[in-house]
Amino acid sequence: MGSLHRRRRAVDFKKFLTRLDKEVPTGLDVPLALGTCATHKTPAIKQWLPAHPRFQMHFAPTGASWPNLVERWFAELTQKKLKRDVHRCVQPLERDIRAWLADRNEHPGPFFWTNTTDEILDKVAAHCRRISDSGHWTGRRARSRRTGPGCSS
């Protein structure tokens, strides 16, 4: 189930929650995986949620693995649909996204991790080596640099 909004606003999030409430069968729980956007923290949403206890909020920290799968889904949308077409305005773009979403729902398929644990850990270790040897300013040196000539302390 998808919903397109041009901005991240609590009013749009509430409309989406209301739509979910209507379309998801009554006996089912609705787990929601949320990122760092603050639309779920507004008074309107905080009032709506207790009245709908089947909605369970799950907050994932930045860098958690489920956002990676969500990003993978968007990468598939980009590669298989958006990069192949030219959109001169927003309406055709939105129409194409909705059509792709409908087709994806008709022919769903799971995403699989393809790397082994060792491959993932090797990539993390390489990343850690790269950033620790980068020569970026850190600690006290970074603070003294910010308060150098022409900077306010």
Residues 87 and 126 in one domain: yes
Angle (CA) 38 40 94, round 5°: 85
Q: Which domain holds residue 119?
A: 64-135
Are both 35 and 69 inside the same structural domain?
Answer: no
Digit-coded pLDDT (tens) for 36-46: 667 777 888 88
The runs of H, that is alpha helices, within the chain are: 10-23, 43-48, 65-80, 90-106, 117-132, 139-146
Mean pLDDT value of segment 11-15: 88
Same domain, 88 and 114: yes
Query: In this structure, is the dihedral angle defined by the CA atoms of residues 134, 140, 146 and 150, taken in order, positive or negative?
Result: negative
Residue 144 resides in a domain? no
Q: Are residues 35 and 14 in the same domain?
A: yes
Q: Both 86 and 124 in a single domain?
A: yes
Domain presence at residue 143 = no
Task: Of 16-20, 31-35, 63-67, 74-78, give the range with the top mean pLDDT.
Answer: 16-20
42 and 81 within one domain: no
Into how many domains does the chain fold? 2
Check residue 123 and give its pLDDT: 83
pTM of the model: 0.47
Give the mean model confidence (pLDDT) for residues 131-138: 60
Domain assignment of residue 47, yes or no: yes
Q: Cα 149 to chain center, whole Å? A: 40
Q: Which of these three, 20, 37, 59, is where a domain ends?
A: 59
